[in-house]
Every structure is written in C-alpha cells, then in structure tokens.
Structure 1
Amino acid sequence: MTEFRIPKVIPDIVNRVTGRWAPPGTGESKGKQRLHLDYVDRATRERQAERQSEDLEARRRFRRGGKSEGLEQRMVPDMEFSSYYGRPIVKAPPWGWPIGVYLWLGGIAGGSGVLAFGGQLMRNSELARNMRISAFGSAALGSLALVGDLGRPERALNMFRVFKVTSPMSMGSYLLLTFATSAALPAASEADTLLIENGKVIALPKPLRTFLRSASEASTPITGTLGPLLATYTGVLFSNTSVPAWSEGREYLPYIFGSSGALAAGGTAMIVTSPENAGPARVLAVAGTATEMYSMHRMKATMDPTVREVYEKDSPGILLKASEAAVVAGSLGTVAAHVLNALGKRSRGLSIASGVALVAGSAFTRFGVLHAGHNSVKDPKYVVEPQKRRMEKARAEGRLSENITTLS
C-alpha cells in the first residue's frame, strides 16, 4: 500500500520561504536543514534498511578476519615513503656560511680564554698576553659573523629580549655577551702594554691605565671559566634541533665542538707564541685532537646507519676527511715540536706549520658538521627510516603496542 503523498510543490515553496532550499539532487543545504518529505513507500524503505544492515555486518566480519573470526587484517600494503610534493619533512636551518665562521671563531675564543687563564696562573706572561688578545679578537669577529648571518644588525638585539634557562640559544647569547665583555678589558690592557713596549704610548689617564691593569688580572679567570661553555654551547644548540644529522649525534656534538675549539686555540697559541712558552698550548692541542677523534668516531658508530651517510659523502664527507688529515698532521707536528723543545732544539717553523694545520682542521670540522645538517633535511629518508627502526625495536621489546607514526 502506497502512502499518501503531499504535492511536491508545497515543500519546495516552504523551503524557499524559510531559506532551507537547495537545488534538487544536491542533498542537504549548507545552511538550515531543508524540509524533506519521503515519497518512498514502506516496503522500499524496509528493503533499503535491510541492505544497509547486511552491509554493516559484512564490514564487521571482514574487520574480524572473515568467517574464521581471526585477527584484524591490514587493508593497505607497505608504501615507499617520499614526502608531500617532494618537499622536505624537516625545515632546513636558515644558517649560512657565516654561522660556520662563528662556530670556528667561537671555539678559538673559548679555548684562548682557558689558555689565558692558565698562562696567568703559571706566570707565563707571553702566553697569557697573546691568548687574552686572541680570546677577545675571536669573540668579536665571531659576533660580527653571527650578526652578518642575521641579515640586519638590529636583529641581534632581539636575542637579548628574554632570558630563558631552558633555551640553548638564549643562554648562548648571554654567554657570548658576558665572555666578550670580560675579555675586552684584558685585551685592551695587553694592547696598551704592547704599544708602550714598541714606543707608541697612547695618552691614557694614569687612573684608567691602573684600572685596566687591575681589571685584566680580575677578568681573565672569568674568561677561563666561561671559555669551555662558549666552545660547547653551540653543540648543545645543534643537538636540540630536529635536524637528523644533529639530533642523532646529540650525545657527542658538544664534545666534538669543545675539543675542536681546544685544539684550534692550541694551534693559535703555537703560531703567535715562541716555542719555549707554548708548552701548555701544545698539551691542550694534543688533548683536544685525541678527544675530537674519539668523539667523532663514537658519534658515527652509535648513530643510525642511514643518517651516518651524510657525514661520509658529498661535501660533509670531504670536509671531515680533510679535517681528520689536517688534525692528525698538526698533532704529530705538535708532538715533534714538543720533543724538540725538551731537547733544547726549538723549531719555530714546525710550531707555526703545526698550528696552522690544527686551526684549519678545526674549521673543516665545523663546516663539515654544518653542511651535514643541511644535507640531512633534503631527503625524507633521513627522517623516516630512523623512526621506523626505532618503532620496530620498541615493538620487539614490547614497549610499543599501537601503530603510531613517531617515537622519541
């Protein structure tokens, strides 16, 4: 039996007047719910409801594994991941080559501060003088490179708007400011002394000259204390990013940066200091070489094999191989210079050549790590494959029971 039907024109008029109208066949309107009158008889509605119930039960049986009531089966096969529209998953860091210069000079500044403090304690006036000037000069030039990478100098002021203990960048900004300020007074005092020794006296008031001498002795311990922090904080900063090459090496990057700064500062002291007074610098350079080579080896051995590729090929691989060759050659020359100095046969040329090799090796290390980070964000596999391995390992150990997309 067919139900009583209301003429179709009546609901159309109501829908238009009340604003519920939508073109026929388009379903519900985007606004109010449209007035709908069912023109289908009761038997047709029952058949439609029965088919919908059967379809729903069939989907449930399929999810349970068919008639066997087994486990849920996968609907989608494993896919080879690329990325959306070929775009990188992780945004590339905006740091260019000036940051590489800043990393290099910051390491030299930090190591020079330590050597200056050591020279003061050991009454090695030549080493203390040269390293005080090196600490401030490297910090000042590194700051210029950092400001240059920002594009506009006034952006540097934004780095000091907040002081956040949990932010390596915020702490590093204030660390650099404090170090450069404490290194400025000793450097000014030593520069004034050098001018006096060369017969070029600047007309400074006597109280000011006395203040500089006293401030030099008091500020050098501050630079010596902050030096290791300045040389290593950039490694901590890199480790706290989402860049695969840096985050995978988070345990060793601070040691690599600190030891690289130590050997570079030792090489700088060997260049500008006479061999008989450069003994502490040679010891620091050899210790820094051993620490850097061990830390680099351990970092590569412990990181994911896919991510390790970026440190071994293309420009990062070339730079790091050049760094290793230069550092090994510089350290061997440093040991030879130390032995000759102990035998009373000093070689100024060997000391300078070894120092240049060490300083160059430190620069290659910093730029190699920087380029490795840039290369690791270009290919999605450096992000996805390590995550998949961590998930498989956690699932095998029973620490993961659900299918999630990331695992820290």
Structure 2
Amino acid sequence: MTAESYYGRPVLKPPVWKVPDVPLYLYLGGLAGASSTMAVLADLTGRGRLAAAGRLAAAVGATASVGALVHDLGRPTRFLNMLRVFKPTSPLSVGSWILAPFSALSGAAVASELTGRLPGAGRAAGVLAGAVAPAMTTYTAVLLADTAVPGWHEVYRELPFVFAGSAVSSAGAVGMLAAPGEAEPARRMAIAGSVLELAATRRMHRGAGLVGEVYQQGRAGSVLRAAQALTCLGLGAAAFAGRSRTARIASGLCLNAAAAATRYGIFEAGRASSRDPRYTVMPQRTS
C-alpha cells in the first residue's frame, strides 16, 4: 500500500538536528551516565583506579555532550535559555535539567580526583552525579520517542532499553581499557550491557510494525547492522578479556564503536521515517 501527501511534500518536517553533533550528543551522554554509575560502585568496593576511570569518562563525556549540543544549537545562550524554566511535561526541559547538574557534578568530582583537593566534596559530587546517572543514561531515548517522528515514536517502549544497554556496554568497555588491573566488574558490565542491547534491539525490530522498515534499509540499516556485528564481536571478546589483553582491547574498541553506530543508525532511521508519508499516514489508516 502507498500513501501520498499534498504536492508530494513530507507530512512531517524532518528533524533539523545536525550530524555528527546530535549522534555524538546521544552517544556521549549515555557513556557518561553509565560511567558515573560504574565509578560509584567501584568506589564502594575499593577499586580506586576503576572509580577514577569512571569519573574521568563521566566528566569528559558529559562536557563533550554539552559541547555537541551547544554546537548543534548554534549559540551557547540557547542552551542556557532552556534552563530558565523547568517544565515536567517536556522531555527537552527535563533533559536540560539532568544534563546541566550532572555535567557540573561530574566535573567537580574529577577535578578533585586530579588535584587531590577537597576529597570529601569531590566524593560527594561523584555520589550525587551517580544518583542522576540512570536518568542521564536514558533520557535521550525518551527525548527522541516523545516526538512525532514515526521511526522513534513507534518504538518508545524499547528505545530506552536499547540506549541503556548500549551505554552500559560502552562504559564497561572504557573500564576494561582504562583500568586493566581492576577490570573484572567492568567486563561484567560490558557483557550485561551488550546482551541487553541485542535483546532490546531484536524486540524493537519485531514490534515496530511498518515503520520497522527504516531500521532495515538504506544508510540506517547498514549502520545498525554494522553496530550489531560490532556488539557481537565485542561481546565475544569480552568473554575472554579476563585472560587476554588483546581481547580486552578489541572488546573495548568494538563496544564503543558499536554504541556510537547504534545512536547514529537510530538517528538516521528517524529522519528517514519523517521523509516518507507512508510511515505517518498508513498507521493512522489501520488504527
């Protein structure tokens, strides 16, 4: 079945977000949130190097994520203006209020870590960042799914789990690379995150209906197939990472590349769905 729009123009205005700014924002935010959680748990279990690696990854990821968002917006004042009002019904407003304090707390925690000053305050900032971290890990999925873009809205149930699994696997991968002597918990994180991502992605594809086509074809389909292959490779390498330095490095690199590719593929799938009237019109005709 086909669907046409007036004058052959899209029913929806395609998202104007830029590449690579927004895909980087999605990837780095998830990595930062999961890394902060890893840092808190590592600190509680006495794994100092892993905790330091997690705090550094959280601070760098959050700061770079803000930078990518500001670059996409065009002017820093546009990001600051989003903080003038807190609107609980707006995922963008809530997300801004998650990103801003998380970035500040993560930066304070890693500054204390690197300088050795105010260790108590630095640790408290790290714990507070860890409390915000689960929201930081998944709010971007809610931000996408709450739009009218069919490719994102139709998978609103599964998308947070895909993003969460991807974020946890990439943070675990960073831990394996940065703290090899204390990498066992990070390796388990990487494995658990990879399994969750693969399972949620499979469920997303099966439950997306007609709009699921955008995840299988074109540039988005190619990128997402590459992401799944990299996730499987990283998962397999993580199984041997406890005994092999080469496997640990391969797993770390594959899982982070997979996380970035997953965000980019999902972003492209949404844009493709907004350009084709079928994905807007046909679900309404069958409902």
Kindly report which structure 2 residues correspond to 1:354-373, keeping only aligned pairs within 5 A, or say none: 354-373=251-270
Equivalent-residue separation in structure 2 for 1:224 and 1:266 (angstroms): 15
Structure 1 unaligned spans of 5+: 1-78, 194-208, 341-346, 391-408
> Normalising by the residue count of structure 1, what TM-score does the alignment of the two structures yield?
0.68
Query: Which is greater in Rg?
Result: 1
Aligned residue in 2 for 1:308: 212
Equivalent-residue separation in structure 2 for 1:216 and 1:148 (angstroms): 29
Equivalent-residue separation in structure 2 for 1:111 and 1:81 (angstroms): 42
Equivalent-residue separation in structure 2 for 1:135 and 1:115 (angstroms): 9
Kindly report which structure 2 residues correspond to 1:184-333, keeping only aligned pairs within 5 A, or say none: 184-193=107-116, 209=117, 211=118, 213-274=119-180, 276-304=181-209, 306-333=210-237
Kindly report which structure 2 residues correspond to 1:73-84, keeping only aligned pairs within 5 A, or say none: 81-84=3-6
1:161 is paired with a residue whose SS is coil
Kindly report which structure 2 residues correspond to 1:104-253, keeping only aligned pairs within 5 A, or say none: 104-193=27-116, 209=117, 211=118, 213-253=119-159
Equivalent-residue separation in structure 2 for 1:148 and 1:357 (angstroms): 27
Equivalent-residue separation in structure 2 for 1:286 and 1:360 (angstroms): 15
The ranges of structure 1 where at least 4 consecutive aligned residues each deviate by more than 3 angstroms after the TM superposition are none
- Residue 171 of structure 2 contacts residue 190 of structure 2 at CA under 8 Å; is this kept in 1? yes
> Normalising by the residue count of structure 2, what TM-score does the alignment of the two structures yield?
0.97
- Residue 387 of structure 1, CA deviation: 1.4
Deviation per residue, 1:44-86 (Å, 9 max, x gap): xxxxxxxxxxxxxxxxxxxxxxxxxxxxxxxxxxx96411111
- Residue 214 of structure 1, CA deviation: 0.8
Percent same amino acid at aligned positions?
A: 40
Equivalent-residue separation in structure 2 for 1:354 and 1:299 (angstroms): 24
Equivalent-residue separation in structure 1 for 2:107 and 2:207 (angstroms): 41
- Residue 56 of structure 2 contacts residue 110 of structure 2 at CA under 8 Å; is this kept in 1? yes
Q: Which has the higher contact order (CA 8 A, sep 6+)?
A: 2
Q: Note the aligned Cα RMSD (angstroms).
A: 1.3
- Residue 225 of structure 1, CA deviation: 1.7
- Residue 299 of structure 1, CA deviation: 1.2
Aligned residue in 2 for 1:374: 271
Change beyond 3 A, Cα 1:82–1:226: same
1:377 is paired with a residue whose SS is helix
Equivalent-residue separation in structure 1 for 2:2 and 2:89 (angstroms): 38
